[in-house]
Amino acid sequence: MVVVKLLQVPYCFYPDPVGGTEVYVESLARELQRAGDSVVIAAPAAAEASYDHAGLPVRRFALDPDLRSLEALYGDGDPAAAAAFEKVLDAERPELVHLHALTSAISPRLAASVRRRGIRLVFTYHTPTVSCPRGSLRRWGKEPCTGELSSAHCTACTLQNLGVPRWVGELLARVPRSLGEGLQQRGCSGGVWTALRMRSLIALRQKSFQNFIGQADRVVAVSAWVRDVLLRNQIPKEKIVVCRHGLSDVPTPTPSAVPDRVEPSGSLRLVFVGRLEPLKGLAILLRALKRRPQLPLKLDVFGIAAPGEETYRQALRKAAAQDARVRLLPLIPHPELIPRLAAYDLLIVPSQGLETGPLVVLEAFAAGVPVLGSRLAGISEWVDDERNGRLLEASSVQAWSAALEALTQDRSTLARWRRNISLPRSMPDVAGEMRALYCAILEGACA
């Protein structure tokens, strides 16, 4: 069973700083290669390029770095990126394209380019940015959102996220869309004009989301909550395929795979791995530590620099410098991650937005390390509360500090959690499900 040619399209790719989605795409591509498939990675970039990444052919297609059109940003996407991607399609001639993001560069325009050529299309929903203008699926930045699209509700929430007082945003959300469309025709944008246009822009974004999803043969949900969001937005259930995350380096189980090695005394060894951006919640964790300066613990932070978050990173560095227990360290190379995690007592995942994974939770379990995480979405699907970790109210500094204090006082809890960890499933399992999906879509193209 061999697929003639596959094109996997993530938001970015190596040597760029990457996150969980790109790690997933690389692992999936390698497993598909091992199974005999021909796989090419295509990702947007500032300039066109072609290169090899450890045996994976990579094509970068150029986006418009100066894209300013609100209609393109909220609507059908970057025409320059779509045109550049068409050249990749014509050169590579894939049988099936698998998109792993929805952005201005990986857009409805790009999806339309695929379908015009008669190429089959699969899309995987990896992050809330796919459907949520705020990017976190947290209403007003606090409570989890159902994900159901509403131009009025989403407009007010988006404006509040942009710094507009909530009551003002709720008033602007009542502005008729026709007014925003009239302002667009007059070329009015920026400041108050954009605020007045926001409801029409959000309606445009939601229409583009439906258009994008409508062009896909199948939509892959990597968690149950993603499936539920898609169903709430009238995506046909027969189009949705649930295929949960897996790891490429799951260790072979042995009787001593999960040793009871938590020290009864000494400092608790904590680790955080993730992007240094507000949604990952590291600031909440540092504030929780500040409340308990006497706790015997050490926190190592392996952070990924997120674009446009230098002010936030400076604040993190300042907070970390005031606590001798915290170290900000360079990112761990991914092949070394699971063995390095095994040196810690607890992984901390204080995410403030809904996650489809994150993959680091599975990587911690593969290392035999329990998880202290936010009671949100994907994290709560992986962490069985009080069995292999604990779930906390995401934004409650008090809850995080109290939980850490309790764990330093009773190390037997960590030992019990550790014994209850099960190894996660493997990426070969995921790739097998994806290959079956591709072949079902392609029908006679698989031999």
The structural domains of the chain, with segments of one domain joined by +, span 6-133+205-246+427-445, 268-419
State mean pLDDT over 54-79: 94
Does the CA dihedral 353-355-360-363 come out positive or negative?
positive
The secondary structure of residue 420, as a DSSP letter, is T
In the predicted structure, residue 1 carries a pLDDT above the cut 70: no
Average pLDDT over residues 289-314: 91
* % of residues, the chain, pLDDT over 70: 95
- What stretch of H or E contains 338? helix 337-341
Look over the chain and give the mean of its residue pLDDT values, rounded to a whole number: 91
Asked, colleague to colleague, whether 6-133+205-246+427-445 and 268-419 share their fold, the answer is: yes
pLDDT the model gives residue 166: 94
pLDDT (0 to 100) of residue 309: 84
* Token output for 327: 């170290």
Among the four given CATH numbers 3.90.1300.10, 3.40.50.2000, 3.40.50.700, 2.40.10.10, the one describing domain 268-419: 3.40.50.2000
Q: Is 228 exposed, middle or buried (0-12, 13-18, 19+ CB in 10 A)?
A: middle
Q: Is residue 182 classed exposed, middle or buried when 0-12, 13-18 and 19+ CB atoms within 10 A define those classes?
A: middle
Examine the pLDDT at 66 and tell me if it is beyond 60: yes
| Identity of residue 362 | L
36-40: Cβ within 8 A, 24+ apart: 36/2, 37/2, 37/3, 37/6, 37/435, 38/3, 38/4, 38/5, 38/6, 39/6, 39/7, 39/8, 40/5, 40/6, 40/7, 40/8, 40/92, 40/94
Residue 261: the pLDDT is 52
pLDDT surpasses 70 at 256? no
Cβ atoms 8, 31 nearer than 8 A: no
Radius of gyration over alpha carbons of the chain, in Å? Answer: 23
Residue 62: what pLDDT?
Answer: 97
**Rounded to an integer, what distance in angstroms lies between the CA atom of residue 362 and that of residue 335?**
14
Q: What is the DSSP letter of 34?
A: H
5: which 2 tokens?
């040619």
| pLDDT at residue 2, rounded to an integer | 58
Query: How much is the average pLDDT of 66-89?
Result: 94
pLDDT in tens, 145-159: 999 999 999 999 999
User: H-helix or E-strand containing 310?
Assistant: helix 310-321
Query: For residues 81 and 102, is the Cβ–Cβ distance under 8 A?
Result: no
Neighbour-count burial for 374-387, b at 16+ CB within 10 Å, e otherwise: bbbbbbbbbbbeee
196-244 residue pLDDT tens: 889 999 999 999 999 999 999 999 999 999 999 999 999 999 999 999 9
Cβ-based burial of 411 (10 A; exposed 0-12, middle 13-18, buried ≥19): middle
Q: What is the DSSP secondary structure assignment for residue 77, as one 8-state letter?
A: -
Name the more confident of 344 and 189. Answer: 344
259: pLDDT confidence band, cut at 50, 70 and 90? very low
- Give, as one character, the DSSP assignment of residue 221: E
Round to whole Å and give the CA distance between 311 and 28: 34
CB atoms within 10 A of CB 330: 8
Residue 264: its pLDDT value, please? Answer: 55
405-445 pLDDT per residue, tens:
999 999 899 999 999 999 899 999 999 999 999 999 998 55
Looking up tokens 């680790």 gives: 271
H-helix or E-strand containing 181? helix 177-185
Q: What is the pLDDT of residue 335?
A: 83
How many beta carbons lie within 10 A of that of residue 152, not counting itself?
15
Share of the chain above pLDDT 90, in %: 75
335 vs 430, residue with greater confidence = 430
Higher-pLDDT residue of 102 and 248 is 102
pLDDT in tens, 164-207: 999 999 999 998 878 777 877 777 777 888 888 899 999 999 99
Q: What is the pLDDT of residue 258?
A: 43
Domain spanning 6-133+205-246+427-445: CATH superfamily? Glycogen Phosphorylase B; (3.40.50.2000)
What is the number of other CB atoms lying within 10 angstroms of the CB of residue 419?
14
pLDDT category of residue 17 using cuts at 50, 70 and 90 = confident
Strands 371-374 and 268-276, by their bridges, are unpaired
DSSP H or E stretch at residue 349: strand 346-349
